[in-house]
Amino acid sequence: MNNLNDPPRWNIQPDPGGREGAAGDGNQWNYALLVPMLGLAAFRWIWTRESQTEIQRVKAQYDKDVSTIKSEMEARFRDTLIESRRAVAALELDLEKERQRVKGYQQALVSHTQHLIQERKQLDKEREALTDEKQRLVKSGAAGAALHDALDKEKGWYQRAMAALKELEGMLVERQNAYCSVIQPREQRLEMEKNILLKVVKDPAVAELDLESDLRDIFKRDKHCADLLNMDKRKNGSLMWVYLKYWQLQITVQKHKRAEEAISDGRIQSHPK
């Protein structure tokens, strides 16, 4: 029977030859494999340590780069924010200046319009007084006939003056439309204003009314424009329409004054009945 406690080459037997016979036995391979394994372990330990060092270095550089970029972005954001606040403050200042300027213009326009309305009322009173005087003179016989003749003489001037005023009204409408237009150039409007001033100076029908200063006042102060969708040019302007009515009254009053001057100077003779 086989000895189960001593199967052939199953159990490791003690070295019968001692240290001297070990070189010819299989145990020598254990020492041969130990050296590469130790070298591999050492290499792995070194590689792991170097890898950890590299990882720490890259991580530190990454954190540094992120911190630098963050600082630069924060600085740029602060600069942009400061510039934006400065721009907003400047715009608010300009807006307040424009509001004050518009407010001052509106107050001046209201005051000027009220002044013109008062003058118009005064002209209405003068016209009524002249009408009453005309009626009185008509009833007085010869003087009434003289006044009637004088008014007939001035009828031609009156019609020419009203026609010139009507033409001037059309020119002012076109000028105001050019002022309100976002397409027409400023130079074109200035040329219109120049032509209007030349007309009132050279046209004898309205030259004696001295409209130049009134027109310059319109060019300077009348900034009223209808809404952008407006197609009616006559809805533009505000002060110019007050002046036009004022000029009509001026022409009517001037007609009677010219007639009275003609009678006073003896150009119109009164003939008793």
CA-closest candidate to residue 213, choices 256, 246, 260? 246
CA angle 218–224–225, rounded 5-degree value: 130
Which pLDDT tens digit goes with each residue over 108-152?
777 777 878 888 788 888 878 877 776 765 555 555 566 666 666
Which segment of 6-20, 104-118, 136-150, 258-272 scores lowest on mean pLDDT? 6-20
Banded pLDDT at 31 (limits 50, 70, 90): low
pLDDT of residue 26: 52
C-alpha 10: how far from chain center = 105
Which segment of 60-69, 136-145, 165-174 scores lowest on mean pLDDT? 136-145
Domain ranges in the chain are: 110-264
Tell me the residue type at 176: Q
Summary mean pLDDT of the chain: 77
pLDDT of residue 273: 42
Report which DSSP code applies to 9.
Answer: T
Q: Are 254 and 125 in contact (CB under 8 A)?
A: no
Is the pLDDT confidence value at 185 over 80? yes
